[in-house]
């Protein structure tokens, strides 16, 4: 079968397409003919040979990847034969020898999710299912920790990424206002094109008129109002000023950060109210800023930051922004991932919830699809910040 392997640690080009023997499903396992394979930022870290959490380095040669979707073609001992022919997605687990960049994968039956049908009756696309099995589940887990409400003003880093595109939709669906930070004009354009589809009047200047919807859990979705979303390119030097202008002097109440480093720190600084000398102050009390014409929120919410990654490679400690010493006691930092995070609970319920959101259309899934044989290109584009949405090999 076709598989992507590397025999040494190094640049993306160490990833090569090879022929390796088909696996045989063992007891409790099934064999999946895979058509979609998730690519994760941590796959690039491992490929470079950088050790440390969250994954130890594998022995070489190795087949990277931990997310697959496809069709069950055989079952091992003790597995119900009715699995054969079913369309499934699975996260293979936090193992260094992932094995996911392979066209045939033996996987424990207990890890399988049947790919659901969309509300329209059409099956969910396998690449979209891939995006839900790892990235969607992390989005829900992080959102549960963040507890977004309609009173929030939410700042999202890497907003055009796999997680970011889901966070924006969820925050807007919750009635919150959003400042989306993304690297470059092309990414902002993607968000402009994506969001009117999801929430027709969320963008500034759009015509109101969308009908309130209903979530699959039966709760009414608040009618989106105009001007609930600001898009900011944080690769330009004065981006913090642009974000502050969008906030019209009010503090953000929630930062969702998966980037860390300088960009994460800059985003964190938006939790402080701007003072007359341009520095953040310790006045984080929520205020009614609806008259200010910016995106600032109108209700009470605890200022908080939820950290779920460090794509920049730099630690996310959030202690170095202007005024941090004065406001850090009033901002709650919660870690979804990393050395300061509590142990994660069983992720299966989060996977189920994410798949249900995609199937119902509550989330529009954005994927960056790359042909399977071009895994090296997928890694390079991810490392060079040139992807939008979840990266999937197809």
Ligand X SMILES: NC(=O)c1ccc[n+]([C@@H]2O[C@H](COP(=O)([O-])OP(=O)(O)OC[C@H]3O[C@@H](n4cnc5c(N)ncnc54)[C@H](OP(=O)(O)O)[C@@H]3O)[C@@H](O)[C@H]2O)c1
Question: What residues line the site for ligand X (CB under 6 A)?
Answer: 40-42, 134-135, 138, 158, 160-164, 182-183, 187, 258-259, 308-313, 337, 383, 385, 387
Cα–Cα distance, 264 to 274 (Å, whole number): 18
* 79 vs 392, beta carbon nearer ligand X: 392
For CA atoms 262, 265, 270, 273, the dihedral sign is negative
Biggest distance spanned by C-alpha atoms of the chain? 71
Nearest residue to 369 via CA among 32, 39, 3 = 39
* 79 vs 307, beta carbon nearer ligand X: 307
User: Least separation, in Å, of the C-beta of 232 and ligand X?
Assistant: 10
Residue 233, beta-bridge partner list: 182
* 136 vs 286, beta carbon nearer ligand X: 136
User: Least separation, in Å, of the C-beta of 122 and ligand X?
Assistant: 25
* 79 vs 138, beta carbon nearer ligand X: 138
* 161 vs 303, beta carbon nearer ligand X: 161
* 75 vs 307, beta carbon nearer ligand X: 307
Alpha-helical segments (H) within the chain: 41-48, 126-131, 137-146, 162-173, 185-198, 239-247, 261-269, 324-327, 348-360, 375-383
* 311 vs 378, beta carbon nearer ligand X: 311
* 84 vs 145, beta carbon nearer ligand X: 145
Phi, psi of 354 (to 5 degrees): -65, -45
* 100 vs 309, beta carbon nearer ligand X: 309
User: Least separation, in Å, of the C-beta of 240 and ligand X?
Assistant: 14
Burial class (CB in 10 A: 0-12, 13-18, 19+), 334: middle
User: Least separation, in Å, of the C-beta of 15 and ligand X?
Assistant: 17
- Measured from the Cβ of residue 57, the count of other Cβ atoms closer than 10 Å reads 16
DSSP string computed for 115-157: PPBPTTSSBPPHHHHHHIIIIIHHHHHHHHHHT--TT-EEEES
Instruction: Name the DSSP class of 102.
Output: B
3-state secondary structure of 391: strand
> Which residue's CB atom is positioned nearest to ligand X?
161
User: Least separation, in Å, of the C-beta of 173 and ligand X?
Assistant: 18
* 177 vs 379, beta carbon nearer ligand X: 379
Cα torsion 261, 262, 265, 267 to 10°: value is -110
User: Least separation, in Å, of the C-beta of 313 and ligand X?
Assistant: 6
User: Least separation, in Å, of the C-beta of 339 and ligand X?
Assistant: 13
3-state secondary structure of 217: coil
User: Least separation, in Å, of the C-beta of 92 and ligand X?
Assistant: 13
Burial class (CB in 10 A: 0-12, 13-18, 19+), 392: buried
User: Least separation, in Å, of the C-beta of 258 and ligand X?
Assistant: 3
Cα–Cα distance, 154 to 246 (Å, whole number): 12
Phi, psi of 127 (to 5 degrees): -65, -35
User: Least separation, in Å, of the C-beta of 250 and ligand X?
Assistant: 24
Q: Token pair of 367, please? A: 């994927």
């Amino acid at each position: 079968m076709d598989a992507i392997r590397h025999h040494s640690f190094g640049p993306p080009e160490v990833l090569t397409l090879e022929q390796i023997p088909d696996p045989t499903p063992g007891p409790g396992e099934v064999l999946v003919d895979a058509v979609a394979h998730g690519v994760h930022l941590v796959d690039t870290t491992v490929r470079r040979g950088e050790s440390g959490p969250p994954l130890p380095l594998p022995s070489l040669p190795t087949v990277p990847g931990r997310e697959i979707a496809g069709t069950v073609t055989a079952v091992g001992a003790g597995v119900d034969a009715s699995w054969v022919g079913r369309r499934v997605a699975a996260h293979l687990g936090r193992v260094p020898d992932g094995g996911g960049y392979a066209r045939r994968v033996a996987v424990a039956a207990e890890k399988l999710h049947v790919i659901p049908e969309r509300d329209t009756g059409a099956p969910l696309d396998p690449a979209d299912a891939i995006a839900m099995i790892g990235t969607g589940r992390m989005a829900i887990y992080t959102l549960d920790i963040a507890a977004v409400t309609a009173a929030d003003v939410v700042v999202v880093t890497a907003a055009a990424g796999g997680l970011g595109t889901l966070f924006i939709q969820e925050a807007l669906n919750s009635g919150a206002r959003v400042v989306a930070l993304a690297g470059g004009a092309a990414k902002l354009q993607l968000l402009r094109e994506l969001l009117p589809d999801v929430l027709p009047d969320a963008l500034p200047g759009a015509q109101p008129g969308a009908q309130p919807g209903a979530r699959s859990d039966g709760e009414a979705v608040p009618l989106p109002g105009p001007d609930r979303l600001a898009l900011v390119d944080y690769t330009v030097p004065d981006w913090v000023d642009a974000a502050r202008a969008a906030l019209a002097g009010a503090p953000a109440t929630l930062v969702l950060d998966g980037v860390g480093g300088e960009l994460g720190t800059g985003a964190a600084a938006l939790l402080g109210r701007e003072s007359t000398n341009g520095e953040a102050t310790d006045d984080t009390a929520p205020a009614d800023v609806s008259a200010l014409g910016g995106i600032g929120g109108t209700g009470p919410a605890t200022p908080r930051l939820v950290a779920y990654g460090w794509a920049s490679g730099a630690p996310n400690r959030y202690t170095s922004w202007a005024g941090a010493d004065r406001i850090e006691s009033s901002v709650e930092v919660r870690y979804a991932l990393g050395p300061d995070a509590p142990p994660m609970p069983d992720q299966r319920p989060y996977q189920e919830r994410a798949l249900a959101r995609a199937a119902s259309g509550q989330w529009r899934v954005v994927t960056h699809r790359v042909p399977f044989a071009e895994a090296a290109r997928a890694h390079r584009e991810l490392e060079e910040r040139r992807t939008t949405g979840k990266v999937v090999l197809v």
